Amino acid sequence: MYDGLGRREKKTVNSNLTEFLFDGVNPAQETNGAMVLANILTGLRMDEFVTRNDVGAGTTSSLLTDPLGSVLALADSAGAVQTEYTYEPFGKTTTTGISSTNPFQFTSRENDGTDVYYYRARYFHPGLQRFISEDPRNFNGGDFNLFSYVRNSPTKYQDPTGEVPTINCPNTGSGCDDTYTPSNNTAELTTGVSVNAWATILSHSTLDVAFVMRTNRDGAMTPPMQRALSLANRCMVIPTLQSYFVV
């Protein structure tokens, strides 16, 4: 069941009901009727989960993630790793250590335990390496294959909404939260453009796109462009692309 904002309010798996209360787009509490199942401490960004308190087990776990946002391990209050997750490139998950009800795993999305992950707009099947339904944005998502997951580049990109691939850049203060817009085949970088947005565009793996960017009259790169390139570098996904710098 979903609410008016498209958020999943409840799910039933193997006759077990789980309901969700939200902090913005992120679930902050899991319940079953009047019974609280788990409390979740979230960050400011989409799919940023810091700790999860399993009320039934009486344990609080810190979620340790990689640059893609995938949860690699759960640590207890003493910092000892209790549960570990390993992933194949498209997210097929193997769990070792103490059993946990934590659903946040590959790219911090929810593993429903039914061979699919919940990616908001649609569901992703790691075994099939694709979504199980078409992109709700149709070809506006920028891919001719309406079922593909992040254009078959799962080690570089994530898709928290199930609609548009994005990059995750936890090494920066604000991250690369802006999505790539496929229509930006040529563009000019001005002070009015988000540096994060341009870093995302620069980091996209479309290798044959020529980006036209404006520089100062002396030919030097503008400060916004420098910050964008630096940010993209720190996201570790700079592709080989053809750039033209014009006066």
Please report the pLDDT score of residue 137 as a whole number.
87
Separation CA 89–CA 144 (nearest Å): 22
Please report the pLDDT score of residue 178 as a whole number.
37
Question: Across residues 111-132, what is the average pLDDT?
Answer: 96
Q: Which residues contact 68 (CB under 8 A, 6 or more apart)?
A: 107, 155, 158, 168
Of the listed ranges 56-60, 94-98, 190-194, the least confidently predicted one is 190-194
Phi, psi of 214 (to 5 degrees): -85, 140
Q: What is the dihedral of CA 186, 192, 197, 203, to 10 degrees?
A: 50
pLDDT higher at 147 or 169: 147
| Straight-line distance from the first to the last Cα atom of the chain, in angstroms, rounded to the nearest whole number | 54
Q: Which residues contact 143 (CB under 8 A, 6 or more apart)?
A: 135, 151
* Residues 207-243 pLDDT 10s: 223 333 333 334 445 555 555 555 544 443 333 333 3
Q: Any bridge partners for residue 38, and if so which?
A: 30, 54
Single pTM value for the model: 0.71
What count of other Cβ atoms lies within 10 Å of the Cβ of residue 211? 18
Please report the pLDDT score of residue 22 as a whole number.
96
Helix (H, G, I), strand (E, B) or coil at 96: strand
* Residues 64-119 pLDDT 10s: 999 899 999 999 999 999 999 999 999 999 999 999 999 999 999 999 999 999 99
Beta strands in 70-136 (DSSP E): 71-75, 81-87, 93-97, 110-111, 117-118, 123-125, 130-131
Question: Across residues 125-152, what is the average pLDDT?
Answer: 91
